[in-house]
């Protein structure tokens, strides 16, 4: 079974060389790209689908899609940004399929860290947020949650979000504002209830 591993990121020039080789069909180079980016792809998938096992499937399918599309990758964006876009599309495809099968994606809401590494950066990326934040995020509509995650977690620009989600920049900003406002209200409610 596919299990993402935490690997140190290579330099931009090394990544560029791997991408060039993978575009020409070099499976070993693409394997190296997978090892370099599997953790971030898996983490994004978990945050989008809220289910560890489904996130594994999403991650694996995203890399299969990327391999098939490698010859068409122009390099206009960083490879990691391109993989984020493929992962988001793959996650929504899996969620749509899951909805058609009438499965509840919230059954496995809590996300455990995949690695017990003591690397604080990687641990911070993979560890689940507090139950209150998880609950508040899940209360957002999917369209609002996707903008919040892409902007606040992955630091995408409004232009990248609008292009990827096929919405206007204004709509991306409105959804982000709405999502942050709803999250703030929900988290304030949790604090008030805890006192």
User: What is the DSSP code (8-state) at residue 25?
Assistant: T
Domain residues of the chain, as ranges? 1-122, 129-195
Alpha helices in the chain (DSSP H): 12-23, 27-49, 52-69, 79-100, 120-126, 131-139, 142-148, 158-165, 169-194
Nearest one of 153, 133, 128 to 55, comparing CA atoms: 128
pLDDT of residue 26: 93
Instruction: Return the higher-pLDDT residue of 49 and 30.
Output: 30
Average pLDDT, the chain: 76
Report long-range pairs for 131-139 (Cβ below 8 Å, ≥24 apart). 132/186, 132/187, 132/190, 133/183, 133/187, 134/50, 134/109, 134/110, 135/186, 136/182, 136/183, 136/186, 136/187, 136/190, 137/183, 138/50, 138/106, 138/109, 139/182, 139/186
pTM to 2 decimal places: 0.57
* 5 has pLDDT over 70: no
CATH number of 129-195: 1.10.10.10
Query: What is the CATH class of 1-122?
Result: mainly alpha
**94-106 pLDDT tens trace:** 876 665 554 444 3
pLDDT in tens, 135-163: 788 788 888 888 888 888 778 888 888 88
Decide which of 26 and 118 is more confident: 26
**Cα(184)–Cα(149) distance, integer angstroms:** 15
Question: Are the C-beta atoms of 62 and 41 separated by less than 8 Å?
Answer: yes
pLDDT tens, residue by residue, 58-67 = 999 999 999 9
Name the DSSP letter for residue 152: I
Asked whether residue 119 carries a pLDDT value surpassing 50, the answer given is no
The DSSP code for 102 is T
């Amino acid at each position: 079974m596919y299990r993402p591993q935490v690997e140190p990121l290579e330099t931009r020039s090394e990544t560029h060389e791997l991408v060039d080789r993978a575009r020409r069909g070099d499976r070993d180079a693409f394997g190296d790209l997978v090892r370099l980016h599997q953790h971030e792809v898996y983490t994004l998938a978990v945050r989008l689908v809220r289910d560890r096992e489904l996130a594994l499937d999403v991650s694996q399918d995203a890399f299969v899609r990327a391999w098939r599309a490698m010859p068409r990758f122009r390099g206009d964006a960083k490879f990691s940004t391109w993989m984020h876009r493929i992962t988001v599309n793959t996650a929504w495809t899996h969620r749509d399929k899951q909805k058609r099968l009438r499965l509840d994606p919230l059954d496995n809401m809590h996300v455990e860290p995949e690695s017990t590494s003591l690397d604080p950066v990687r641990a911070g990326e993979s560890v689940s947020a507090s139950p209150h934040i998880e609950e508040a995020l899940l209360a957002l509509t999917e369209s609002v949650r996707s903008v919040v995650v892409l902007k606040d977690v992955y630091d995408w620009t409004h232009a990248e979000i609008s292009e990827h989600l096929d919405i206007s920049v204004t709509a991306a900003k409105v959804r982000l504002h709405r999502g942050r406002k709803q999250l703030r209200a929900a988290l304030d409610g949790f604090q008030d209830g805890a006192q």
